[in-house]
Copies of this chain bind each other. A is one copy, B any other.
Amino acid sequence: MASEPAPISFARGAPSLDIVDVDGLRAAADRAFQNDPAGTTAYGTAIGYRPLRAWIADKHGVAPEQVIVTNGSMQADAFLFEALVEAGDVVVVEKPTYDRTLLSLRSRGADVRPIDLHEDGIDVAGVEALIAAGAKPRLAHIIPNFQNPAGYTLSAAKRRALLALAAANGMTIFEDDPYVELRFSGASLPTMLSLDEAGSVVYASSFSKTVCPGIRVGYLVGPEKLIARIAKLATHTYISPNMVAQSIVNEFVRAEDGAAFDRAVARVKGALQERAQALCAALRRELPEARFVEPEGGYFLWVELPEGTDGDALFAAAAERGVQIVKGTDFLLDGGENAFRLAYSGVTVPQIEEGVARLADAVRSLGVTA
């Protein structure tokens, strides 16, 4: 092996530049300043750029007053947690789950209760058992589609079961859905937001994966009163979110009555599908002992090696070979030593093949497999 192999990163959940529609963004920016110079350049208000808010409301079939557009969906999460979660509140999360959500909830002093994530989503019976044992979860954080880090998708039956549980127990479901548009196989499932009749759901999504991450535009959909409270928090925090960015996104998603946006998303999905398939094929070939579920969309693959694998040693051995992965332990309060997350969104097919070969070499260097 070469002493300084070219770095290959499976670490960051971000798209490679070739699947960002830079020309479409340039054109959208030009139209934003031309079509609405006043709305694009002025302060605006905390609820976001109104034409984009209206587009989002239409998309989800809700009133505009149920939508707030924020500087990325992490900021939306932060506002939501500030509005709903007090120190000591029980919050259900998936096990494993997004590391930044764990950090954010723990820094607020939430009593975080991880519930096992299965191939078809969170173990709803586990949530039920938690409630039966006396816990009163304020919130359940759920990434329903192509979960981060696992890549799994919550089944339709479990979506309905969770909604029933939430309605019966005064629990809010935080449906955190940034990857929903990135389904490249299988049938789409309805959002819990669209199925909700009890007002139990607050929904978050983002344009990071469909437009680009640097545009930092995300949003929340929820009950009107909650959104109004969050708008107050947003006003006190930053007066208004980025109007220039939101006006650009508005032009981007509305171009050609949405046809240009559809083409941009189709291009992203095509590339992701190709990368996911190449990754799974390479893993089957190079690391037959690895267990994983082939994803139907999104950015991530969760890989488990045999029990007893030393994740820290694997991380180091991979890094020595120029390969970045994220340790399974980052997504869990405990456990996950034998697991890791691979993001295939930012790597080309040749990089994937080379990266998995090096990763297999790293695994073999640990003496885990024959």
Interface 1/0 per residue, A77-99 and B, CB below 8 Å: 01000000000000000000000
Known: A17-B37, A37-B20, A107-B236. A26 touches B26 (CB 8 A): no
Please tell me if the beta carbons of A239 and B42 are within 8 angstroms of each other in the complex.
no
Contacts of A71 in B (CB 8 A): 71, 216, 238, 241-242
State the copy count for this chain. Answer: 2
Complex Cα–Cα for A14 and B102 (A): 39
Assess whether A239 is in contact with B29, with CB atoms less than 8 Å apart.
no
Instruction: Say which one of A119-127, A164-172, A207-215, A257-265 lies at the interface with B.
Output: A207-215
Q: Which residue of B lies closest to A246 (CB)?
A: B214
- CB within 8 Å of B: which of A231-247? 236-245, 247
Enumerate A178-204 residues with CB–CB distance to B below 8 Å.
none
Whether A205 sits at the interface, judged by CB under 8 Å, is: no
Q: Which residues of B contact A25 (CB under 8 A)?
A: 33, 41, 244
Which of A38, A107, A245 counts the most chain B CB atoms within 10 A?
A: A245
Looking at the complex, which one of B43, B78, B215 makes contact with A14 (CB distance below 8 Å)? Answer: B43
A360 at the interface (CB under 8 A from B): no
In the assembled complex, which residues on chain B have CB atoms less than 8 Å from the CB atom of A3? none
What is the chain B residue whose CB lies nearest that of A214? B243
In the assembled complex, how far is the CB of residue A46 from the closest CB belonging to chain B, in whole angstroms? 11
Question: Measured between alpha carbons, how far is A212 from B33 in the docked complex, in Å?
Answer: 12
